[in-house]
Amino acid sequence: MLSLVTLILQIAVVIAASRAVALLFQKMQQPKVIGEMFAGIMLGPSLLGWVAPHFSTLLFPPSSLVYLNALSQVGVVIYMFLVGVALDPKALKEHGHTAVLTSHVSIIAPFVLGACLALLLYPRLSDDGVGFTGFALFMGAAMSITAFPVLARILTDRDMLGTKLGALAIACAAVDDATGWCILAYIVVLVRAHQAASTPLWLTLGGSVAFLLIMLYGVRPLLRGLGKSCREQGYLSENKLALIVMVALASAVITERLGIHLLFGSFLAGVIMPKGKKFVRYLLDKFEATTVVVLLPLFFAFTGLRTSIRLIHGSRMWVFCLAIILVAIVGKLGGSMIAARFAGGGWRESAGLGILMNTRGLMELVILNIGLDIGVISPALFSMMVLMALVTTFMTTPLLEWVYPIRMIREEAAALRDVEIAHEPALGRAAP
């Protein structure tokens, strides 16, 4: 009973802190999600545990964290499902070769730089429990991620959806996300294959391929009726909503049992859902508010409780941390910018795309938590990477305003008023 009271108190404190800091960040012209991320870090050992250790232990006793973790994981499972729902593979086709080139370079450039950085960090911040290949690939994947939902939010806030740059950024981020998750699935399999008591590799690989095929060619056609029903009636019955939730949860359980991770399953379930605008909007409206307002702040708080800036002690550790931030920015921002320039974009437009693609946000935190859970990164490295995620997400809006001011966007939007908006990103209204 004590645990339940503690849990309810924790939820209340987390939501209050999250809203307060989010409002503060909103006043600083930043997306609310960045404030929520900061609030999570503030509730952990980096601030609350340092300033008021007794209160921190009272509010977040170690024995209670298992409940907080479970709730936050449920939130991320639903959130990843919504990210999958919002992801439209057609977005890439609409922007042709430019999007393919830019998105691929925006993945490979930070990936390679992240792997190079692993040469420096592996002997210093890892251990022989994880092989170099798994470590380097994870560093690459973590460096190359773009937060598709945060990007959508920033573009919506700045009224950039109708611009060529906004549409291209959304398309590239969608490809980056899908590719990043595929790479991460491979890394999880690779790392878990070396651990005792893990699912046999043949079962993981064979099962994953079979499951993917079943979802794409077996389950997806069956779900088309849901999209049609929503389009005709304007809503989905409770039974149909329950069916959708069960598909997402079953998919999450199966991928976890296959030895990948439950988030891949929920993401995949979202990807195979019908992509009609009405259906996507209806699902997001139904699930977004609870997930974004209640469950995701719990995830940020849980991440914050695992992040200890004090683990980064001494000048050497801070140099590593700065190197991580620098490599992340140069790889993602620089790589995307150069690719966009080669694809024919102007310098300003290319720089704008690079800045947008450098947004990591929540997706980075999700990936980092997976890395810490499977033991591929150490707690100190986790804390450094969380700082990198915060810095790269925080810098997006001011840098974008500098390179691509709102005045210029309005002029461009006015010129393109008659052009149909090709892709309306979901998760753009309320989601982080």
Partner 1 sequence: MPRRKLVAVYLGLVGVPLLGLLGVLRVGRRLAAPISVGGSWNLQADFRTLTEAPCRELLSSINQPFLSISQSGANLVFTLNNSQKTTVVGTLNRTTLAMGGAEPLSSPSRTCADPQAIYLAATVSTQGKNRVLTGTLGISGCASCAPVSFHAVRQASGGGR
Which listed residue (195, 233, 237, 290) binds partner 1 by CB under 8 A?
Answer: 195
- Output 97 or 407, the one with its CB closest to partner 1: 97
- Give the count of alpha carbons within 13 A of 278, CB side only: 11
Per CB under 8 A, the list member of 42, 92, 112, 293 interacting with partner 1 is: 112
Residues 6 or more apart whose Cβ sits within 8 Å of residue 257 = 199
Separation of alpha carbons 12 and 94, rounded Å: 44
Comparison of 35 and 140: residue with beta carbon closer to partner 1: 140
Residue among 363, 427, 424, 352 nearest 169 (CA): 352
DSSP 282-347: HHHHHHHHHIIIIIHHHHHHHHHHH--GGGS-SHHHHHHHHHHHHHHHIIIIIHHHHHHHHTT--H
| Residue 136 binding partner 1, by CB under 8 A | yes
**Which residue type does 343 have?**
A
140, 162, 334, 432: which one contacts partner 1 (CB under 8 A)?
140
Contacts of 249 (CB under 8 A, 6+ apart): 77, 266
Smallest distance from partner 1 to CB 134, Å: 10
199 binds partner 1 (CB under 8 A): no
| Of residues 388-407, those binding partner 1 (CB under 8 A) | none
Q: Residue 248 — φ and ψ, nearest 5°? A: -65, -45
> Residue 276 or 375: which CB sits closer to partner 1?
375
Under a CB-based contact definition with an 8 Å cutoff, are residues 102 and 327 in contact?
no
Q: What is the DSSP annotation of 71-129?
A: HHHHHHHHHHHHHHHH--THHHHHHHHHHHHHHHHHHHHHHHHHHHHHHHHHHHH--TT
Q: Is 159 in the site for partner 1 (CB under 8 A)?
A: no
> What distance, in Å, lies between the first and last C-alpha atoms of the chain?
33
Among the residues of 126-163, which ranges form H helices?
132-144, 148-157
- Give the x/- contact pattern for partner 1 in 220-239, rule: CB under 8 A: --------------------
Residue 93 near partner 1 by CB under 8 A: no
With CB under 8 A as the rule, give the number of residues binding partner 1: 47
Nearest CB to partner 1, comparing residues 111 and 264: 111
The answer to whether residue 378 forms part of the interface with partner 1 (CB under 8 A) is yes
Asked if residue 378 lies in contact with residue 307, where contact means CB atoms within 8 angstroms, the answer is no
Binding mask 24-63 for partner 1 (x = CB under 8 A): --------------------------------------x-
Q: How far apart are CA 184 and CA 182, in angstroms?
A: 5
Does 274 participate in binding partner 1 (rule CB under 8 A)? no
Residue choice 39, 76, 115, 268 for contact with partner 1 (CB under 8 A) = 115
Residue with smaller CB distance to partner 1, 9 or 338: 338
Tokens found for residue 412: 């461009």
197 touching partner 1, by CB under 8 A: yes
Binding residues among 325-344 for partner 1 as defined by CB under 8 A: 338-339, 342-344
Indicate which single residue of 169, 325, 351, 372 sits in contact with partner 1 (rule: CB under 8 A): 372
Q: How many residues does the chain have?
A: 432
Q: Which position among 116, 219, 330, 413 is part of the footprint of partner 1 (CB under 8 A)?
A: 116
Residue 142 CB, nearest approach to partner 1 (Å): 15
Is position 99 an interface residue for partner 1 (rule: CB under 8 A)? no
The region of 8-16, 104-112, 212-220, 280-288 touching partner 1 under the rule CB under 8 A is 104-112
Q: Using CB under 8 A, which of the segments 25-33, 129-137, 153-161, 247-255 binds partner 1?
A: 129-137
111 vs 279, beta carbon nearer partner 1:
111
Burial class (CB in 10 A: 0-12, 13-18, 19+), 69: middle
What residue ranges bind partner 1 (CB under 8 A)? 62, 97-98, 101, 104-105, 108-109, 111-112, 115-116, 118-119, 122-130, 132-133, 136-137, 140, 192, 195-198, 311, 338-339, 342-344, 372-375, 378-381
